[in-house]
Copies of this chain bind each other. A is one copy, B any other.
């Protein structure tokens, strides 16, 4: 229970089911977010978290089909296995090779990856920030970073610089996912950027480098938009350093909300009530026992 639970009529036989699969998944914010959205629109759906063991992602897609589950969110460690198991992938999911949500289209199960578009949409919706013409640095080349690189690459930035400790990987990811726009670069180039995005786990509570910064603080300036996809803590070491530098800062919950909103729209065909979804995420997130950046 959260401190401000959404109250809903209990499900009946007519209620439709959606779920997030992952492991770990019990601390996911997704049930709070989606159930709040169903409530505000009066949709007779319910959303739960289901622990699915590593290696069983493809079986979970089969299970979705057998049981008539009408929407699936997919988190670690199943994003690639589910991409391989669905009937069809969207162009973005095809390019990334991963799926974070599954929806039905007639008899087909379709996989999409909404993380990147959710990220770009959250900046526009929540922060009035368009990336068109912007000089953008993205730190990281993991799964979340790749989704963001791919989507930012389509957002017509003036520059898209991918920074990784593994330069060869940065070169490859930039060329593959943002061809013609992305290139590998170094954190020291930050001074020439408008937007700096941390898409690494550095700064995540409970993570391997919870107190760390993904780039040196002295590279941050007051002209930067600094965005951290880590949402726990709400103010990460990076965001704190960016604030001290006078930069504009953006936390990671917006991406979480908007990737969920895009999935919600696939499932229900209705515009997602993103403000209600955000309120639910923030209410839930305030619960100390729930603090986790995992499970999404």
Contacts and interface: CB of A to CB of B under 8 A. Distances in A.
A68 interface: yes
Interface stretch (A1-9, A197-205, A221-229): A1-9
A59 interface: yes
Interface in A204-247: none
Contact of A10 (B6, B17, B63): B6
Contacts of A9: 1-2, 5-8
A50 B30 CA distance: 21
Q: Classify chain A: how many residues form its interface, as a range.
A: 35 or more
Interface stretch (A21-29, A126-134, A170-178): A21-29
A52 B62 CA distance: 12
Nearest to A23: B68
Contacts of A270: none
A11 B50 contact: no
Interface of chain A, main secondary structure? mixed
Copies per assembly: 2
Interface in A27-51: 27-32, 35-36, 38-39, 44, 46-51
Contact of A36 (B10, B13, B21, B284): B10
Given A66-B52, A66-B63, A67-B21, A11 B46 contact: yes
A60 interface: yes
A156 to B, nearest CB: 37
A26 B39 contact: no
A295 interface: yes
A10 B7 contact: yes
B26 A13 contact: yes
Given A15-B48, A60-B67, A10 B25 contact: no
Interface of A: 1-2, 5-15, 17, 19-21, 25-32, 35-36, 38-39, 44, 46-52, 56, 59-60, 62-64, 66-69, 284, 295
11 contacts: A5-B12, A8-B8, A8-B9, A8-B10, A10-B46, A11-B48, A12-B49, A13-B30, A13-B31, A21-B67, A67-B67
